[in-house]
Amino acid sequence: MMGYTKMAWPYFASFLFFICGNHLQSQKLHTKIHFGAFYYQGDLTPRPVDMSFGPGNICWGVSSGIDLLDWVSINGRFMMGQISGSDSYAQDAQKKARNLSFASSLYEYGIYSDIKVNKIWKSLDKYKLRLYITAGINLIHFNPKAYYQGKWIELQPLGTEGQLMPSSGKKKYSLYNFSRPLGIIVEFDINKNLAFGMEVSPRKTWTDYLDDVSSCYINYDEMVSAGNPMGANLANRMGEFLNAEPVRVPSGTSRGTPDKNDWYTHFGMYFKYSFGNNCKGNQSRYKYCEK
């Protein structure tokens, strides 16, 4: 991780330990181990629709939380994984010829609240499962890279859309942003302390640069003349697709869709351990408790 991520981790870890330290003897404390996949949604997905996804990439994480009430909990969560996308999967011939691709590590530091739907949909209790709506906010760190001539090249420092050229009026985008998860969880008990859950949670972001693609091209020769040949080569890769010299397009030619920020979705599972005697007052919830 880079500097800000290293700075953020101690504060996030302190939050988790604060929860544990103040509630270790409480039966309301729980911890989870998460695993699953991140799916990117943006300019480099196969179809130009909102529900088109890039390839799935493995992610994992840990969280700790407190049941504030029987039907609502608050959780601190850390997740890490990768997202990726490529025009090679595009169904549209023009997008395929654009020939852009990326992969990026992704780190999340989040605060979540899980709200139990069983509170109003009580018939779920007879199936010994719990349905939750989960929502929160994440601080995210990403770093898009492209594979070029046998190496992974960081794209943000290259200013592929003219961010290094004063005449463009653009600044480098930040590698830190926020995402807003909103999803559903289904959870059931393995025993009185251990549970298993499944989660689907799309994440809206406030950046269009998870993939380094947002607005428009800068003319290839202009970028080379400005002393940025690597940026020129990775900003416009149509020539590689055509097995030809770099394709020159006028500055301002559309490269992405700047009116739509990027999303990604987490499909995952977790094991949850609840501390304390969970049978006390919860015989109806845990089928393993003696009645």
pLDDT in tens, 265-274: 999 999 999 9
Place of tokens 């999967």: 89
Which string of DSSP letters, residue by residue, matches 206-274?
S-S-TTS--SB---HHHHHHTT-HHHHHHH--HHHHHTSSPPP--TT-B-S-TTS--EEEEEEEEEEEE
Domain 3-212+263-274 has CATH 2.60.40.10: no
How many CA atoms within 13 Å lie on the side-chain side of 10?
4
pTM of the model: 0.86
For the stretch 134-191, pLDDT in tens is 999 999 999 999 999 999 999 999 999 999 998 888 999 999 999 999 999 999 999 9
pLDDT of residue 14: 52
Which range is least confidently modeled, 43-52, 61-70, 200-209, 240-249? 43-52
